[in-house]
Amino acid sequence: MSTARFDTIGQYLLKGLYDAGVKHIFGVPGDYVLGFYDLMIKSPIQHIGTTREDSAAFAADGYARCLGMGALAVTYGVGALNTVNAVAGAYAESSPVIIISGAPGVSEQRDDPLLHHRFGPFTFQREIFERITCATAVLNDPVIAFRQIDHAIAAARRFCKPVYIEIPRDLVMVEGHPIPAEATEQFASDETALSEAIAEATELMANSVSPMIIAGVELHRRGLQRVLVELVERAHLPVVATLSGKSVIAERHPAYLGIYEGAMSSENARYMVEQSDLLLMLGVTLNDIDTGIYTAKLDPHHMIRAALNEVVISAHRYPRVGLADFLTALLRSIKTCSEGFTLPPVLSAASGFPEPNRPMTTDRLIGRLNQALSPDMVVVCDVGDCLFAAIDLRVHEQSEFLASSFYTSMGFAVPAALGCACARPDHRVLILVGDGAFQMTGTELSTHAYLGLNPIVVVFNNGGYSTERCILDGPFNDISNWRFDRLGEIFGPLKGYDAATEDAFEEALINSLNNQTMPSIINVHLAADDASSAMQRLAEHLKSRVKGGS
């Protein structure tokens, strides 16, 4: 990285972020980071102020999932610590978010003073973030600060994980010391292992009767979606995705069969996967959600599993084989199949919608949204039943569905959608969120309104935490009733709608689709015991664990 025109540590950090593709930084100002903010507004990077620090981190996460890297800037202590949960989620789900924390000045930290926002030794904050990032840097030495910045940004890109950068406020405008670029070791696949893995994989594929692909989240994070499509079409292979990998392929592609997550899958997707004599598991992480709480029936002896840096075929392990290298080599090695895909994807639809005065249900809601989705829409989904119901949604293009589907943090969707909208201004965001999750971070809808964005927010309002109700019901799952349709009086400008029946929802949805100038929010009333079929199946498996079963 050239340092000729960027003399101060703060300037160099902003230039490094901009060169990495970060055009927006989310955050809440505080005195320890104000100097950096002042530099930011003089730079090409736009500051997006959020209502909360954790919302800034969720927004940066959504931004990173769309563009490959995101960033937030907060103050020391009360600001940075508020982001811990959201940063942990980004770490768990491999999203490269850069956390910038202002800090007391180096001179202020001498003699161990009791400064505001302090909660222990000044090293504590860095030590906390060391556990939930792949690299940390405290820029307290101008001699090495530039090198530290380079290393941190490179680590975020290489490992697809968050990094933490702390900048003392009295060093923001201090000149750094240019250091010659350091040659960084790039990962290279072992050519022998790669060629042997390809040879075994192509032989198995040639001899299999019903091969198919399970596509996972690592294909998203490594930008391998187009390679996946080429492989699917050249080899004429059907494909399913994991829940965390949802929309890794356009879900209206004729080869796509839906989401596979064990017992929570549709009957067709489950049958096709579990009867296959060869599964190509590409970029799949075998967590409990993606395996349907370990109800997936996957035979490792009939499996080719390509993870981040290794390939496992039956009982044979090929270390140091990169996922991208394996896919590219496999694509070159297989023969082109001349057959075409004949079966179009089956969409969940709400036939006869709307029926006058018919109460809204989750299944009918999802069916109607399937009909309303357009190629320029991105769905950002929170956790709970809206996530499980969204299994049946079919987005048009790849990477148009974002969710905290493994870490499953409530409150992800509304702020993450803010990051998505900034990253993809040519797309419209559809936000699916439960009433409980909205009450956590829904204030960020006011930021959407302030910026003139036009998301459509669909609130699944059943008066409480529906997932927990299905697992173990009790009054602790009930929450206060918000008038979501009237939030324009507080958050404005936005349009609010109340929908208890199908005809009311239809009118609200049409009006929302036509409203291009501000956010729309639809308060959809659902019965407390209404649940998607996928969540009902999931809850049955979770009940025994909550009650002490195996």
Just give the CATH number of 191-333.
Answer: 3.40.50.1220
Q: Which residues of the chain have pLDDT under 70?
A: 1-6, 340, 342-346, 348, 537-550
Distances in whole angstroms, Cα of residue 339 to Cα of each of 203, 234, 237: 20, 9, 10
What are the domain boundaries of the chain?
9-171, 191-333, 362-542
Write the DSSP string, 177-204.
---PPPPPPPP---HHHHHHHHHHHHHH
Burial of residue 116, with CB atoms counted within 10 A of its CB: 0-12 exposed, 13-18 middle, 19 or more buried: exposed
CA distances (Å), 351 to each of 98, 245, 363, in order?
Answer: 46, 28, 11
Q: Answer whether CATH 3.30.230.70 is correct for domain 9-171.
A: no
The pLDDT of residue 550: 46
CB atoms within 10 A of CB 355: 14
How confident is the model at residue 2, as a pLDDT?
47
Q: What is the pLDDT of residue 432?
A: 98
The CATH class of the 362-542 domain is: alpha beta
Question: Cβ distance 92 to 412 under 8 Å?
Answer: no
What's the confidence (pLDDT) of residue 547?
A: 55
The separation between CA 395 and the C-alpha centre of its own chain, rounded to angstroms, equals 15
CATH fold match for the domains 9-171 and 191-333:
yes
The pLDDT of residue 365 is 96
> What is the rounded CA–CA span in Å between residue 280 and residue 500?
44
Q: What is the pLDDT of residue 271?
A: 92
Percent of the chain with pLDDT over 90: 75
pLDDT at 3: 45
